[in-house]
């Protein structure tokens, strides 16, 4: 263990040294090959040779840029002028996960002049199957730093800024003001509402993607024609609040952590987020962008379809002519849910109805009659479970399934312990039973504090954490 700790510390120091050297290299390169389109000038090298051979090169793009980005410059939709715009653009990618990684890869590859990556989290082994900028060796380091390091290996001619922080109402407006476009690559409702309000208050477009299970969605909020050379200068697309004026109930919101996701699904949506960003930057108008419409992708049958969204709401609380919202809010309170799923720690049962992992292990050794009720989904239960547990998924605890559970509890002569992954759903299930079961059975009902994560930490180190 000492060798592992020593090597991890040495690697962190080397990473920081490498990051500083790469920044130094970028500044040196910038002196010789400025990136901003207003400052790009004709290369002096080989000019005489080009003139002798009657070769004309761009007055705006340097030779390295023409060679590097030639395949997309050849497209009439992009051309030299479009590449110039890309090299002068600044894009903020919020979330370095399943959506943000592929989006950032293609933005960097396209030569977007500056990319900011915001993520407070660290790389976990469960991320790697879909978050393509991270590798096994990046575990336990900042996702923002890991993503930036990978992107520098793709394109060292662009500016990359990692923000190893949580974007919140106290810093979101200031950070985003340095950019032209925001990519919402997050996975929670409070942050979506916050980024929408940031988009409206800072008057910048928001390219919003989401992915869950085998499905993905993509659209653009806060589009303004005046910034995209559109003939209809007054046109403004709907914002997120125009389409979803009130947050959904917490129990209706899924997550990759709880519900799963096939890796290629966020890969597809993140890639298309980058494409929409490129099209937006080069000046394509709303007719060619996902403005006022949402792309729906179903990985099960490999289908894409566009659905029309509600138009801009003239009475929207933030983007109307008379807005009620003029500053950022406490979005966790407004949405009644946390932005950090990992911080979720419910405490809705009294102490007498809870049991620690160590005490549960002792109880299981002392008697064979203990009833363990695992309320995770069926696929989770199949992945791993404690021997002897029975599976009653929380989402099915109603009607006949709930009656069957109540009868099993009443028929059990010993203690009943509810189990889930982190100790939250199990409390909900236990409370649902305690609310209806007769008093004579209540004292034997328990919930495993900390869930299977605690079981793995304190009892069985071989039990998988996911």
CA gap 126, 54 in Å, rounded: 57
CA gap 321, 23 in Å, rounded: 43
Buried-state track 128-149, b at ≥16 Cβ within 10 A, e below 16: bebbbbbeeebeebbbbbbbbb
CB 79 within 8 A of CB 73: yes
CA gap 202, 179 in Å, rounded: 10
Considering 242, 256, 316, 335, which one is annotated as catalytic? Answer: 256
Please give the full DSSP string across 57-97, using - where no structure is assigned: --SSS-HHHHHHSHHHHTSTTTHHHHHHHHHH-EEEEE--S
Residues 6 or more apart from 310 whose CB is under 8 A from it?
238, 242, 243
Residue 256 known to be catalytic: yes
Considering 242, 319, 335, 420, which one is annotated as catalytic? Answer: 420
Q: Is 159 helix (H, G, I), strand (E, B) or coil?
A: strand
Residue among 176, 316, 287, 270 nearest 225 (CA): 287
> For 46, left (φ over 0), alpha (ψ -120 to 50), or beta?
left
Using N-to-C axis directions, what is the helix angle for 399-411 and 425-434, rounded to 10°?
A: 80
Catalytic positions, please? 256, 420
């Amino acid at each position: 263990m000492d060798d592992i700790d020593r090597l991890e510390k040495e690697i962190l120091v080397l990473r920081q040294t490498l990051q500083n050297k790469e920044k130094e290299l970028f500044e040196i390169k910038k002196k010789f090959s400025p990136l901003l389109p207003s400052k790009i000038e004709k290369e002096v090298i080989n000019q005489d040779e080009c003139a002798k051979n009657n070769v004309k090169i761009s007055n705006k793009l340097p030779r390295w840029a023409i060679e590097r980005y030639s395949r997309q410059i050849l497209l009439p939709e992009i051309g030299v002028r479009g590449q110039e715009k890309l090299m002068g653009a600044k894009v903020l990618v919020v979330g370095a996960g399943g959506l943000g990684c592929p989006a950032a890869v293609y933005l960097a590859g396209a030569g977007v002049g500056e990319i900011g990556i915001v993520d407070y989290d660290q790389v976990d082994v469960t991320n790697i199957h879909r978050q393509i900028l991270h590798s096994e060796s990046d575990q336990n380091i900042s996702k923002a730093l890991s993503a930036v390091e990978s992107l520098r290996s793709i394109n060292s001619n662009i500016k990359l800024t990692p923000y190893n922080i949580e974007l919140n109402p106290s810093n979101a407006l200031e950070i985003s003001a340095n950019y032209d476009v925001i990519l919402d690559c997050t996975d929670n409702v409070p942050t979506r509402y916050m980024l929408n309000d940031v988009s409206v208050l800072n008057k910048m477009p928001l390219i919003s993607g989401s992915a869950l299970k085998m499905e993905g969605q993509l659209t653009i909020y806060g589009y303004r024609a005046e910034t995209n050379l559109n003939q209809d200068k007054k046109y403004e697309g709907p914002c997120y609040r125009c389409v979803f004026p009130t947050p959904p109930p917490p129990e209706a919101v899924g997550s990759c952590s709880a519900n799963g996701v096939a890796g290629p699904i966020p890969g597809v949506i993140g890639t298309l987020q980058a494409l929409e960003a490129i099209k937006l930057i080069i000046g394509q108008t709303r007719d060619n962008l996902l403005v006022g419409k949402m792309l729906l992708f179903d990985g099960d049958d490999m289908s894409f379809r566009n659905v029309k969204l509600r138009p801009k709401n003239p009475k929207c609380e933030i983007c109307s002519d008379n807005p009620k919202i003029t500053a950022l809010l406490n979005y966790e309170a407004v949405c009644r849910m946390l932005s950090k799923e990992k911080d979720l720690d419910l405490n809705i049962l009294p102490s007498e109805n809870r049991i620690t992992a160590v005490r549960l292990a002792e109880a299981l050794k002392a008697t064979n009659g203990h009833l363990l009720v695992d309320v995770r989904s069926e696929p989770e239960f199949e992945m791993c479970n404690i021997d002897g547990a029975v599976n009653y998924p929380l989402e099915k605890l109603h009607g006949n399934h709930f009656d069957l559970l109540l009868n099993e509890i009443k028929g059990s002569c010993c203690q009943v312990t509810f189990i889930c992954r982190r100790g939250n759903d199990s409390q909900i299930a236990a409370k649902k039973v305690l609310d209806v079961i007769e008093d004579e059975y209540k004292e034997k009902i328990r919930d495993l504090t900390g869930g299977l994560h605690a079981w793995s930490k304190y009892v069985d180190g071989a039990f998988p954490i996911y």
